[in-house]
Structure 1
Amino acid sequence: MPVDPDYIEQLVLEEITGIISPEDSITLKKLLAEEPEAYAIWQQMHRDLTGAYMQSVRKSLQEELPVEQVFTTARRRKRRRIFIGTTLGIAASLLVCAVVYKIMWPDYQPVLPAPIPPLALNTVALQLPDGQLLRLGSGQQQTVNGIIFQEEDGKLSWSGGEGSSIARLIVPPGKDYAVRLPDGTEVTINAATTLEMPLAFDDSREVRVDGEAYFAVAKNEEQPFRVHLPKSTVAVLGTSFNVNTYDSGQVKVALESGAVKLLTNDGDALLQPGMAVNYQPGVRPRAAAFDARTVFSWKSGYYVFENTPISEIADVIARTYRVKVVIDSKATAEKRYSSRLEKEAPLEQFLERLKTLDNIDYQFKNGDTIVHLLFRP
C-alpha cells in the first residue's frame, strides 16, 4: 500500500486524540504493520504528542473544546487525505491552545480566537480573533475589521484593535518572521512557532509562545511584560532574550541584556546577561552561562552546532527545510557533530558534510519530502 505521509499524520493525530473511527483504526494498524515509513511517523508523533502532560490536555479538551470541532472542516471534504498540520509542534499547538490557559495559567485567560482547521501552511498566517486567517508575506497592506496590518521588510505591525482581542501568529516550517507589538516590543519568530498576542495592550502586556522566539522588549516599569511558556512564565521590564520550547519536556530561556525572571511551579530563577536556564518540570530551575553564538545564531540565518547529537540536528533540519527526518538507528541518533547549517543553502550541501562522520549516510524518499539518516557499516 503506497504511503501518503499527510494521510498517516491525520490518522495518527486522530488516534492520539481518541476520535479515530473503527474503519480508520483498522487502516492505520495495517499501514503500521506493513510500511516502515508509516511506523516511523507513528513513533515520532507518539513521542512528541503523548505523555502525562498531553494526557491532561486531551482530558481537558474533552471538557472544554470537543476535538471533533477541530476536524469539522476536514470531514466536509470529499477526500480524507488532507494535511493535518505543518509540523508536529504546530499540530499540537492548534489542538491544545484553547485550553492550556485554564490548565496552566488560570490568571491569564484572554479571549482566544476561534480554532482554525489544521492547514498545510506554506506561508506565515495570522489567525484573527474572529477566526479569519490572514496570510502574510506579500508585503501589502491589509485592512480587516477596521484594523490596518502593514508589512515592511518582513515585519508585521498594525494599528487598531482591542486589548481583549487575541490573535495567533503561525510561522510554518522553513520560515521565520518578525512582528512589532503595540507597545513597541519587537519579536523575531523562528520556524514552526506560534505566538499568541493581544491586538492592543491594556492593563497588562502578556503573550504566549510555543516554539522559539527572540524578544526585544520595550521598557515600561509601570507595566511589566510577561511571556507565557509551557509550565512557566518569563517576567521582564525591558530586555532582550530568547525563549525555546521546541522540546516538549524542556523550556529554554537565554538572556542577552537586561534582567528576567523565570517563574515556575518548582521555584523561580533570576537571570543576568549571559545567563540561561533550561527548565524541566519537577526540577528547580538554575541559571548557568551559555554560548550566545549557538543560541542566537538562528536570527542571523544559520545554526551553529557544537558537539550536537544527530537527533537534535534532525529536528532543526525538519523545521528548516520542511521535511520529515527519519533516523534509522540508535547509533546514528547518538552520534555528535559540529558544523554550521545555513538556512538558505540547499539541504544536500549540509548532508554531504554530515557524511564525513564515520558510518553516517543519507537517502531521500518520497521525492524530497523524507530524509533517512542511515547507519553505514
Structure 2
Amino acid sequence: MPVDTEYIEQLVLEEITGVISPEDSITLKKLLEQEPEAYAIWQRMHRELTGAYVQSVRKSLQDELPVEQVFAIARRRKRRKVFIGTSLGIAASLLVGSVVYKIMLPVHEPVQPAPISMFALNSVALQLPDGQLLHLGSRQQQKVNGIIFREEDGKLSWSGGNSSDMARLMVPPGKDYAVHLPDGTDVLLNAATTLQMPLAFDDNREVTVDGEAYFTVAKDEEKPFRVHLPKSTVQVLGTSFNVNTYDSGQVKVALESGAVKLLTNDGDVSLKPGLAVHYQPGVRPTAAAFDTRAVLAWKSGYYVFENTPISVIGDVIARTYRVKVVIDSKATAEKTYSSRLEKGAPLKQFLERLKTLNNIDYQFKNGDTILHLSNRP
C-alpha cells in the first residue's frame, strides 16, 4: 500500500525531536510494522539526522525556536532537496519548556544504517548500498543504478553490478528465498534471515548471515569463500553446508559435503561431511555427528521436532507464522515435544495436535498476532 511520504517524515521528525503525541506515536509504530517504505524513511532520517551535516545546519539555526518554526525550516529544506536527500537537515534534540524548545547539538558519531525489522516487512526485500529498498517476489525484472535484477524460478540474480559495497537481502517471517551470487554460489535463506553481500565480488568472497541459510559454494581455490557469523567465520572452498544463528548465544554449522573450517576466538575446528559444530563464545568448539533429516528439513518445507523444548518450538512458530509467541511459565518452556511442523499447514492444526498430545493450551490475543502457550496440568 502506498504511504504518504510527507506525513511519515512529519511523524518521524516529531519522534526524533521528542514532541510526538502518544496517539501519533502509536500511529507511527503501526506504520513501521506494516509498511516497509515507512520503515525505510524512518531509517534514513534517523541515520542522517545524526550525521556530519549536523554541524553545518547548527550554524544556521538559532539556539531557541518554537517547534512550529523548526518544522517550517524542515519543510523549506525539503523543498530545496536539502532536508530529505543526500544532505538531510536538522539534527537536534528539543527539550520541552513552556512554549519554546531548545535545540541541543548531539555529539557527532558515525551511524551505520539500522537493519529493518523483519516484522516490518511483508515481502522479501533487498536494501541496496545507497539505502534504496527493492521489493522482491513479483518475478519481474527491475533495473536500478545500471544493475538488472532478475527473479527466475524463485531465485534472485543480477548483472551489471560493479560495487563491493554491501547490500542487505531480508527474508521476513513466513517466507524463504533463494539467491544466486555473482561468483556462482547459491544460497537458500530461511524465514527471518538477513544476508549481507556485495553486488560484485573483488579479491574476496565474503558475506554475513543472521538467521539460517544453506550454501552451495562455487569452488575457487584462489578465493576462499567466507561466511561471517556472530563472533565466528566459516571458511570454505567449494561445499554445501547449513548455518544457523537464530539462537543469539550459539552458532550452528552443519556440513553436508566438501570441507569447511569454523574460525573463532576460542579455537578453530574443521568439519567433514556429516559433522556439525555448535559454538558458544567462551567455549572451545568441537565437532559431532548430526541428524541430516532434522537439521535440513526446513529446505523441504517442514521442521522436525525430537524432544524439542516448547521454547524452541515457539521461536519456530514465530518465524513461520509471523506471530509473537508468549510462553506463560518456565515449566511450559522446558516441556518437550516430538512431531513435525509443515510450513504451509494452518497453525491451529499444529496447535491442536500440541494440545492433544502434550497438554499445551493455546490462546490468541490481539487478533491473531499474539499467541499464548500454557501448560495444562
What's the secondary structure of 2:173's corresponding residue?
Answer: coil
Give the conservation status (yes or no) of the 8 Å contact 2:154–2:177: yes
Q: Name the counterpart of 2:151.
A: 151
Once residues 334 and 370 of structure 2 are traced to their aligned partners in structure 1, the CA distance between those partners, rounded to angstroms, is 20
Deviation per residue, 1:216-245 (Å, 9 max, x gap): 000111110000001000000000000000
Map residues 85-96 of structure 1 onto 2, 5 A cutoff: none
The share of aligned pairs that are identical, in percent, is 76
RMSD value over aligned CA atoms?
Answer: 2.6
Q: Name the counterpart of 1:81.
A: 29
Structure 2 residue ranges without an equivalent (≥5): 1-15, 48-110
Give the conservation status (yes or no) of the 8 Å contact 2:150–2:156: yes
Deviation per residue, 1:26-85 (Å, 9 max, x gap): x8xxxxxxxxxxxxxxxxxxxxxxxxxxxxxxxxxxxxxxxxxxxxxxx9x893333656
What's the secondary structure of 1:303's corresponding residue?
Answer: strand
What's the secondary structure of 2:294's corresponding residue?
Answer: helix
Once residues 263 and 116 of structure 1 are traced to their aligned partners in structure 2, the CA distance between those partners, rounded to angstroms, is 25
Give yes or no for the alignment of 1:324 onto 2:272.
Answer: no
**1:351 to 1:78, Cα distance in 2 relative to 1, 3 A:** closer
Deviation at 1:165, TM superposition (A): 2.2
Deviation at 1:374, TM superposition (A): 1.4
Deviation at 1:289, TM superposition (A): 0.4
Once residues 326 and 78 of structure 1 are traced to their aligned partners in structure 2, the CA distance between those partners, rounded to angstroms, is 22
Deviation at 1:355, TM superposition (A): 0.9
What's the secondary structure of 2:30's corresponding residue?
Answer: coil
What's the secondary structure of 2:268's corresponding residue?
Answer: strand
Instruction: Compare 233-242 and 365-374 and name the one that shifted more.
Output: 365-374
Give yes or no for the alignment of 1:205 onto 2:197.
Answer: no
Map residues 299-314 of structure 1 onto 2, 5 A cutoff: 299-314=299-314
Q: Which amino acid aligns with 2:285?
A: P
Give the conservation status (yes or no) of the 8 Å contact 1:162–1:198: no
Q: Name the counterpart of 2:371.
A: 371
Give the conservation status (yes or no) of the 8 Å contact 1:113–1:128: no
Q: Which amino acid aligns with 2:296?
A: F
Aligned length: 288
Map residues 187-336 of structure 1 onto 2, 5 A cutoff: 187-336=187-336
Structure showing greater radius of gyration is 2
Give the conservation status (yes or no) of the 8 Å contact 2:128–2:168: yes
Once residues 173 and 295 of structure 2 are traced to their aligned partners in structure 1, the CA distance between those partners, rounded to angstroms, is 19
Give the conservation status (yes or no) of the 8 Å contact 1:214–1:242: yes
Q: Name the counterpart of 1:345.
A: 345
Structure 1 residue ranges without an equivalent (≥5): 1-18, 28-74, 99-111
What's the secondary structure of 2:167's corresponding residue?
Answer: strand
Deviation at 1:166, TM superposition (A): 1.4
Q: Which amino acid aligns with 1:328?
A: D
Give yes or no for the alignment of 1:122 onto 2:70.
Answer: no
Give the conservation status (yes or no) of the 8 Å contact 1:114–1:129: no
How high is the TM-score relative to the length of structure 1?
Answer: 0.72
Q: Name the counterpart of 1:360.
A: 360
**1:83 to 1:236, Cα distance in 2 relative to 1, 3 A:** farther
**1:145 to 1:358, Cα distance in 2 relative to 1, 3 A:** closer
Deviation at 1:22, TM superposition (A): 11
Q: Which amino acid aligns with 1:225?
A: F
Give the conservation status (yes or no) of the 8 Å contact 2:337–2:358: no
Once residues 295 and 375 of structure 1 are traced to their aligned partners in structure 2, the CA distance between those partners, rounded to angstroms, is 27
**1:363 to 1:78, Cα distance in 2 relative to 1, 3 A:** closer
Once residues 310 and 30 of structure 2 are traced to their aligned partners in structure 1, the CA distance between those partners, rounded to angstroms, is 30
Q: Name the counterpart of 1:68.
A: none
How high is the TM-score relative to the length of structure 2?
Answer: 0.72
Once residues 83 and 247 of structure 1 are traced to their aligned partners in structure 2, the CA distance between those partners, rounded to angstroms, is 28
Q: Which amino acid aligns with 1:177?
A: Y
Once residues 27 and 368 of structure 2 are traced to their aligned partners in structure 1, the CA distance between those partners, rounded to angstroms, is 24
Map residues 13-162 of structure 1 onto 2, 5 A cutoff: 79-82=27-30, 114-115=113-114, 120-162=120-162
Deviation at 1:157, TM superposition (A): 0.2
Once residues 346 and 325 of structure 2 are traced to their aligned partners in structure 1, the CA distance between those partners, rounded to angstroms, is 15
Once residues 290 and 225 of structure 2 are traced to their aligned partners in structure 1, the CA distance between those partners, rounded to angstroms, is 23
